[in-house]
Structure 1
Amino acid sequence: MASFDIEVSSRKKVIDLFQTWTRFADLTSQGGHLQNDDNDMLPPADTGEALGLGAAKLTFTIGYGPTFFEKDGKDRFGIKHKRPHYLKQIPHMAHDSLKEEYCDGDICVQVCADDQQVAFHGIRNFIRLASGIATIRWLEEGFLRAPKEVTPRNLFGFKDGTANQDHATKSGFQKVVWAEKSEPEWMQGGSYLGYRKIQMLLEIWDRSSLMDQEDTFGRKKHSGAAYGKKGEFDKVDPKKLPTDSHVRLAKETNQQMQRRAYSYTAGVDNRTGNLDAGLLFICFTQNPDKQFLPMLKIMGKMDKLNEYTIPIGSALFACQGGLEPGEYFGEKIFRD
């Protein structure tokens, strides 16, 4: 996942970039690659590391940050009136230790694939094709491994995303994920993407007892069942969970979101000698003011998980719906 800042004020140049990105995404998601012309004295059209690897279920998701629509009080591209209702910078939360280089941005692009090299090829070429128009603000590489229909585990060893089952229907997504009908036309079929980069204090966690770990979440580590229940997806009774447990606090907000979190590792933190690893928390919501931000406020103040985590990155983006044939990224935003 990457965030970009647009360095030009030309509406036409941004449209040209989005059209170029769209052509590349359409081509590579079908297993193709950019073709060279006949001049060997020019750089290759495609960087080449994904040749022969196929599409690997490659997908591109693009989101637009608050500063895409208005930056430093300026409506750079004449699209301020197209800004979605709830799109804003996430306010500082208790327990945050945010670093500017891991936060926000004009545009985000999430590239997913079953092959790590295919995904890297996608984002690498987005960066290359944006040269002179947009610069990379931050780039994160996450991973997710779990058999189909099995809830993945985070680096603490606990299942992450169990609650997605609560709205796993067409009507559930309509209420929880997809944008409201009152949102701008370009966002219909889209959603808000909430992002948090969370560093995990794995060395401290690994010295904690199993009881302490399970009390932190309010679930059994191996089965994923909430306290007082037998199965992972059994309905949670918050009163049976520790008052400061992660799951109890989440349930007591009475809000749902579509979680799509990824683990990350970035070697060793040279300041501490500890592992630099954690969670790239991503969620999709219909109304972040109602579903996402209140949960962050409660978690920041009371969550027992705070003993083992440090939020260091944060952002909110508005994602458009899927493209129709012949449509380019952002076309409906720029349409008069």
Structure 2
Amino acid sequence: MLQEKLFGNTHLLGVCAPSFLFRVLMGDVQGLIEKQTINDTVNPRSSSSYYENYHSLREIYFWMEEMVKIHSDLLQKIYIGSSYEKRPLYVLKLSRRQEKVKSAIWIDCGIHAREWISPAFCLCFPGVLQTTYLRERDQTMSTLLEHFDFYIMPVVNVDGYEYTWSHPSKRLWRKSRSSHGNSKCIGTDMNRNFDAQWCGEGASSYECHEIYCGPYPESEPEVKAVARFLRNHKDIIKAYITMHSYSQMVLFPYSYTTNKIMFCSFQESLANKAKTTVLVSANCYLFSLPYIDLAPGGSDDWAYDLGIKYSFTFELRDTGTYGFLLPPQQIKPTCLEALAAVKEIAKHVLQNL
């Protein structure tokens, strides 16, 4: 049972001791976890309802294969490396293929294993092609695909994500599954492992901490693979977007310092425009500059320092009622509102190429 402390005090055995009233947020956490995994493959991959459930890593691999076959004119699967436990790391390239090299937008999901709504969005994003682009001819998406390639990485932390599925008691696992040296503790926080003020205040050098930064920058093969790909394509990638949960925020650099970035007022304006876009769902998103808590080694800060001016972190639903255990019925509205915001950012980037 997950509870929220409210207020109060009382006397216990004649001694004044604090006591609290509680509000039950989730009466059956285990039951909620089981409901999130039971329908992994119940819906056909070609159906819109497929994107209203969470999916295991194995199923996501199958989905990528099928999507690439069905939409071979639009989708390409790119192998960029392997994880610590030797699972393949894939990026989907969404593109209306042309002879010329186009500008690109990168979107990654699943850096933190327990944030299941994040990979759900990275499936939803190309998945909506079946309805909004291919069938209904979404003019905005059509225009964006004329000018941009989209590189979408559905799961960065493949080992950690798989671990949360195969070990239900570890559903809230955050880190990778790597082991370094003789440490008794497993895993590195991948969003503290990029070379952006690595392991400064807001990260930990202690292996057992949730925000362990790793033994050195890019020590995690998954982080190294992403960083290598972005470095190799930095001349064409015009925007970097990373999806996390939860708190319903649009964030931009820096998280490793309180100093404002060079384009702060501009980034603030665009972040505000993106978060305003999702208000069509009556679901409030905030934007933050330049940080909430110090978080050095983050991918968005690293991408910005690489030269990708438009760098954003989305913290998807919700604001704490379910947290990392967001119910499946909230997947579709979460994806649609985030998609609207991503399209808003892409349109702005296009207008300012």
Give the TM-score category using the shorter length.
Answer: under 0.3
TM-score, normalised via structure 2 length: 0.26
Select the structure with the greater relative contact order (CA < 8 A; seq sep ≥ 6): 1
TM-score after normalising by structure 1: 0.27
Between Structure 1 and Structure 2, the one with more helix by share is 2
